[in-house]
Each structure stands twice: as structure tokens, then as C-alpha cells.
Amino acid sequence: MAMAMENNKSLCLTCNEDKITFPCKGCSNEFCLTHLTEHQNKLHDQLNHIINDYDQFKERINEQKQNPQNHSLIKQINQWERNSIEIIKQKAKDCREVLIESLQTCSNDIEKKFNDLSAHIRQIQKENEFNEINLNYLKNQLIKVTKELNNPSSISIHQNWQPFINEISIILSKKSKLNKWSQSAITVAGRNGERQKLNQLDRPFGIFIDKKKNTFIADRWNHRIVEWKCNAKKGQIVAGGSGNGNRIDQLSHPIDVLVDQQNHSIIIADYGNKRVIQWLNKKQLILIDNTDCCGLAMDTHGFLYVSDLVKNEVRRWKMGEYNEGTVVAGGNGQGNQLNQLNRPTFIFVDEEQSVYVSDVGNHRVMKWRKDAKEGTIVAGGNGKGGNLNQLSSPEGVIVDDLGQIYVADFKNNRVMCWCEGKEEGEIAVGGNGGGNQSNQFYGPIGLSFDDDGNLYVSDRWNHRIEKFEITL
């Protein structure tokens, strides 16, 4: 019996004495009866602390719901507002001081002109020698000095597009939407074989959809730009179409196209002729020469962006001022670093002038924020492949209003949708192997949206343009 009692004993964790002990299932330790009670009391104290923490957190939730203005993020916005107002006030004060001084000088000049005119009036009145010519001259001069007084020609107010206060915005993480697109396409252009008839295309590349849902196509191997009206059975040639050549009225393997909807001019990346050319009312103007141009984009401020396949860069030009332009992405040689590109093709520019670039040789899409010295990877970048975190020779790239990035994953025969910051993308349309069915591609390359959010894809080797209707 004594031996049995001995076998029931073990060391208590607290007192470290050989006693009859009881296990705690929570921590798997052994305690004697005295210290088991003590251990349980400690657990009760911990529970009470946790309950108290939960109660305090509940109070914080109620406080935030009742007084959202007290949130720390709101306080950051309030501080930004105060700082910005002070900057604006000081800027306005400085401008007023300069303007008042300039207006005084201007008024003195106008007063001198007026006094001279008044003296002239008195002179002809005194001599009583005047006719209609004199009177018209005096009337016109009075009109001129009146206009000058109301709106001095030597003074104007210039509002710079470049902000002089730090911009502020709210960034909300976005979840991509599944099943956003109909998985069966409607063919809106081509699909009648690889030829040069007006109902045919030959390896189409870049596309542009205007506000009337008309489709402009860089019909590359037909050396022309064709426009297919909405629901049309055939297209019409709007640029080129006179064979492969370098005359001003010819194109050579055009690779991308956009329409300046302000003046309805057509801007073309005329790749074979190493130039960007504008067609307006059947008249041509070379905008940029000696460039291995590939992708085109235009922002809301009227700047033109062009990717250069050989220089591995994207440059921005102000419309009408085509000098050297400004490098806004790449420009540091060919490579895979964050400040480099490797064969950039299609590009997209958002409202904040961030540039998205299909970096084909690196199998990734890069985003370069305005004035950034290097980009960030927003799609792919995990080597060439067909996994959801990979791309294979990405081409067309566009971004929707939610900031979701759509990429023509050329060699994977699919269009991918990526959310910035996510490790992998989702298949938006395609991904069913290479083929010519309505849910397949054979080399998707150009992408565009219409104003309703429908997705258009240039299906290169099927010689057609596919439209996927939005379902959400």
C-alpha cells in the first residue's frame, strides 16, 4: 500500500516537492493540491484582465462610432488642411503684392496714353478740323485703353498644373471581383482570314476604342490603321493602306494607335519607319522621329507618352512641343533592376500620371509614379511561366477605375487581372489554351476598354478583335 502511494506522487511545478499532484490540461504541468488552487486563481486573474481589455476595446469602438472626428487619421487630415491653408494664404499674399505693384505701373502707363488722347481731342475741338476718320480713331483708342485698364495685356494669372502643396488621398485596399467578364467573346473586327480586304485583318496589334465604341486597329502587316464602326461588318482605312513604305502617306508595320478625341487626330507608332506620326483630315505630321516607338498613351493633361523598345525607356512629350521629351520610366540601360526595363512595349497612364509599362523581357509589369527614379513591380516579376504569380511575354496593359491592372499575357493566351500589392493575379478571360474558340486566344496582344467597361482584346494570330462584355 505504501508503495502504491509513492507511485502516485510526482514533483509539483511550484514547490518542487514530491507530492500527490494533479495535472493542468492547459499547460500540461503537475501541481500539488495547494498550488493547483493557486495556479487556478492566477488563471482567473488573467481572465479578468482579458475581460477588462475587451471592455475597454468595446468602449473605444463606441467612442469611434459616436465621435469619428477624433480618429487619429482624421486628425492627420485636419493637420494637412491647416498646413495647406497656410501655404495657400502665403502664396496668395505674395501674388497680391506683386500684382498691386504691377497694376500701379500699368495704370500709370494707361493714364499717360489717355492724357495724350484727351489732349488730341481738345486740339481737334479747338481747331474744329476733324472727320469720320478722326472720330473712328478716337473711338477705337478709347476702346483699347478701356480693355487695357480692365484686363492688362502685360499681366496674367498662371495656374501651374504642378501642385505646390503636398497632395493627400485615401488609399483603400481593393478586392478584385471574380466573374467580372463574360467568358465568351463577341468578335467585333476581323475573323475572316489573314488578308487585306476591308473585312479582314493581318496580325493586329494595338487598339483604341472611342466614345462611340468605334474600334481603331493597328493592322500591322497590312501597314494601315483601320476603323471599324460599332457593329460594322467591315472596316475603313483611316491611315496608311498604300503599301509598306516610308513616304509621309505610308506606314510600315504600325504597332499602336490612339485617337486624340479633342481634335479627332490619329496618332500612330509607325514602328518600321521609327517615327510617331499624326494623321488629321488625311494630312500627316511627323511628331517624333528616330525612335523605336512601340506603345502610346496620352494623359488627361494632354501629354503624349511613347515607349522605346531599343532604348528601354518611356518618354513624355507635351503635345505640340517635340524636342527631347522627358524620361519617365527606364532610361538606365537594359536590365531587370527596378530602375531598368527590358524591351518595354505597351503602356498606360493613369490620372495621377503614373506610367504602367509592359516589361516584356522581364516578364513583368512595372508602375512608375510621377517623377519616380525607379518603378515597382505590379504584376509578374517571378520569371517566365504560367502560374498565377507569373507572366510570359506580357503585352497590352490597361488599368480600370478601381486600380485593377489588366495584362495581355501573350504566350499564356490569357488576360490577367492584378491588384497592386498582391502576390498573384487572376485570370480575367481566356486561359483555356491556344485556339480560335470564343473563350480562347492565340496571342492576345492589345487591350482597351469602352466607356461601359467592356473589355476588348486584339487576338493577334486569330486576326480578330474580341469583345468581352462586363457582367458585374
Q: How many Å separate Cα 39 from the centre of its chain?
A: 60
The domain boundary residue, chosen from 64, 95, 121? 64
**What per-residue confidence (pLDDT) applies to 174?**
47
DSSP code string of 368-437 = E-TT-SS-EEEEE-S-BSSSTT-BSSEEEEEE-TT-EEEEEEGGGTEEEEEETT-SS-EEEEE-S-BSSS
Q: Is residue 132 part of a domain?
A: yes
Whether residue 162 sits in one domain with residue 309? no
Lowest mean pLDDT among 19-33, 100-114, 347-361, 422-436: 100-114
Say what the pTM is.
Answer: 0.64
Whether residue 146 sits in one domain with residue 56? no
The domain boundary residue, chosen from 122, 146, 172? 172
Whether residue 191 sits in one domain with residue 157? no
Lowest mean pLDDT among 119-123, 362-366, 372-376: 119-123
Who has greater pLDDT, 446 or 127? 446
Whether residue 149 sits in one domain with residue 199? no
Who has greater pLDDT, 240 or 9? 240
**What per-residue confidence (pLDDT) applies to 252?**
96
Whether residue 381 sits in one domain with residue 252? yes
Is residue 267 exposed (0-12), middle (13-18) or buried (19+ Cβ within 10 Å)?
buried
d(CA 318, CA 68): 44
Whether residue 428 sits in one domain with residue 361? yes
Give tens-digit pLDDT for 56-83.
Answer: 888 888 877 788 788 888 888 888 888 8
Model confidence band, residue 337 (pLDDT cutoffs 50, 70, 90): very high
Give tens-digit pLDDT for 242-259.
Answer: 999 999 999 999 999 999
Contacts of 166 (CB under 8 A, 6+ apart): 80, 84
Position 239 pLDDT exceeds 90? yes
Whether residue 27 sits in one domain with residue 90? no
273 by DSSP, 3-state: which? Answer: helix
d(CA 375, CA 182): 33
Q: Is residue 250 part of a domain?
A: yes
Residues shown for the chain: 472
Whether residue 309 sits in one domain with residue 290? yes
Residue 11 is classified by DSSP as: E
Q: Is residue 149 part of a domain?
A: yes
Instruction: State how many domains the chain has.
Output: 3
Q: Is residue 7 part of a domain?
A: no
Q: Is residue 317 part of a domain?
A: yes
Q: Is residue 6 part of a domain?
A: no
Question: The domain containing residue 247 runs over which residues?
Answer: 186-468
What is the pLDDT averaged over residues 150-166?
68
Whether residue 147 sits in one domain with residue 224? no
Lowest mean pLDDT among 143-157, 178-192, 275-289, 424-438: 143-157
Is residue 365 exposed (0-12), middle (13-18) or buried (19+ Cβ within 10 Å)?
buried
d(CA 343, CA 358): 8
**What per-residue confidence (pLDDT) applies to 206?**
96
Whether residue 369 sits in one domain with residue 453? yes
Whether residue 359 sits in one domain with residue 254? yes
**What per-residue confidence (pLDDT) applies to 8?**
67
Average pLDDT, the chain: 88
d(CA 296, CA 286): 15
Whether residue 89 sits in one domain with residue 60? no
Give tens-digit pLDDT for 310-334.
Answer: 999 999 998 777 778 899 999 999 9
d(CA 223, CA 340): 31
Could you tell me whether strands 464-468 and 455-459 are parallel, antiparallel, or unpaired per DSSP bridges?
Answer: antiparallel
Q: Is residue 12 part of a domain?
A: no
